[in-house]
């Protein structure tokens, strides 16, 4: 009877996308101790770790916070401090360190991206994560180079603290952490974007589409240099690049 009831409950939880075995221990077996909240992991094997485990981070660790559209990176310096590069317009407008050290708002961040201004700043683990889970040294298996010693990584990050030039593709937070940890600045996110852009350009249908849009613009706005030149050059460039 107990086995039948357990079977029915498992089916019920399965329909709700909840695995019963993850909620209840096996019959006759005592609950095991919970696993540590943070461990050294790679992207495929381990989920994001909660911020409460910051005491397990070691100086020089690479912290990774998945966001909706991108991933943010930082270097752990010890004592609950993280160095990370973030776009910020405020250092270009004021020298008041108290204002600059306040949490970077979305407005400050967006204006920093547009103005290509950023800062390498030191925040707490909680402020850095901003409520998201943290991956620990997840990039170690994605980068071909071996990581440097933790102390050297942290010293590199500390030396770069301050205002820097920002580029969404060529100098972002991922370039900062890879330079500190592996000795060479690179961005896997940028590489993926460039690969996607290359595939987009090589698709000949885009040349046809831009040619059609060019004809429609000339039909609507009239034939002139300002309409005819882009209508010809853009499709031609895409066609030659495909």
Q: Tokens in use for 241?
A: 């690049």
Q: What is the edge-to-edge ordering of all strands in the sheet holding 135-136?
A: 135-136, 62-66, 71-78, 81-87, 117-124, 162-165
Reported as a single tens digit per residue, the pLDDT across 11-32 is: 433 333 333 333 333 333 333 3
Average pLDDT of the chain is 78
Q: Same domain, yes or no, for 27 and 58?
A: no
Q: Same domain, yes or no, for 210 and 181?
A: no
Domain assignment of residue 107, yes or no? yes
Tell me the chain's radius of gyration from C-alpha atoms.
25
36-44 average pLDDT score: 41
Q: Same domain, yes or no, for 21 and 75?
A: no
Q: Tokens in use for 53?
A: 């485990």
Query: Rounded to an integer, what is the distance from CA 24 to the centroid of its chain?
Result: 35
Read off the pLDDT band of 3 (50, 70, 90): very low
Residue-level pLDDT at 74: 96
43-55 average pLDDT score: 49
Read off the pLDDT band of 53 (50, 70, 90): low
99-122 average pLDDT score: 91
Domain assignment of residue 195, yes or no? no
Residue-level pLDDT at 18: 33
Q: Tokens in use for 49?
A: 């770790």
Q: Same domain, yes or no, for 114 and 227?
A: no
41 is catalytic: no
* Least confident segment among 28-42, 60-74, 94-108: 28-42
Domain assignment of residue 65, yes or no? yes
Residue-level pLDDT at 237: 83
| Nearest alpha carbon to residue 86 among 160, 154, 190 | 160
Which entry of 31, 41, 173, 180 is annotated as an active-site residue? 173
Can you tell me whether residue 187 is helix, strand or coil? coil
* Least confident segment among 130-134, 174-178, 237-241: 237-241
Domain assignment of residue 40, yes or no? no
Domain assignment of residue 17, yes or no? yes
| Nearest alpha carbon to residue 106 among 97, 96, 114 | 114
Q: Tokens in use for 234?
A: 């853009």
Q: Same domain, yes or no, for 179 and 216?
A: no
Reported as a single tens digit per residue, the pLDDT across 145-184 is: 899 999 999 999 999 999 999 998 899 999 999 999 999 9
Sign of the C-alpha dihedral, residues 224, 227, 230, 236? negative
Residue-level pLDDT at 84: 96
DSSP secondary structure of 147-189? PPPHHHHHHHHHHT-EEEE-BTTTBSHHHHHHHHHHSS---HH
The residue range of the domain holding 166 is 51-190
Q: Same domain, yes or no, for 208 and 183?
A: no
% the chain with pLDDT above 90: 38
C-alpha span between 90 and 98 (Å, rounded): 11
Q: Tokens in use for 115?
A: 């103005």
Q: Same domain, yes or no, for 123 and 227?
A: no
Query: Rounded to an integer, what is the distance from CA 131 to the centroid of its chain?
Result: 14
């Amino acid at each position: 009877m107990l086995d039948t009831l357990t079977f029915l409950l498992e089916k019920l939880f399965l329909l709700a996308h909840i695995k019963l075995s993850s909620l209840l221990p096996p019959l006759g077996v005592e609950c095991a101790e919970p696993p540590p909240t943070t461990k050294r992991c790679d992207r495929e094997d381990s989920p994001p770790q909660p911020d409460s485990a910051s005491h397990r981070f070691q100086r020089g660790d690479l912290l990774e916070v998945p966001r909706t559209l991108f991933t943010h990176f930082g270097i752990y310096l010890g004592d609950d401090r993280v160095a990370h590069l973030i776009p910020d317009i405020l250092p270009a407008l004021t020298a008041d360190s108290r204002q600059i050290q306040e949490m970077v708002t979305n407005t400050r961040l967006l204006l920093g991206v547009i103005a290509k201004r950023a800062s390498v700043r030191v925040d707490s683990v909680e402020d850095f994560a901003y409520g998201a889970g943290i991956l620990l040294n997840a990039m170690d298996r994605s980068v071909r180079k071996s990581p440097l010693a933790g102390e050297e990584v942290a010293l590199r990050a500390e030396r770069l603290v301050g205002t820097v030039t920002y580029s969404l593709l060529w100098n972002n937070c991922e370039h900062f952490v890879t330079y500190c940890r592996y000795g060479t600045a690179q961005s896997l996110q940028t590489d993926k974007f460039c690969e996607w852009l290359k595939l987009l350009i090589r698709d000949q249908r885009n040349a046809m589409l831009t040619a059609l849009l060019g004809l429609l613009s000339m039909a609507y706005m009239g034939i002139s240099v300002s309409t005819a030149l882009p209508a010809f050059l853009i499709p031609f460039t895409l066609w030659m690049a495909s």
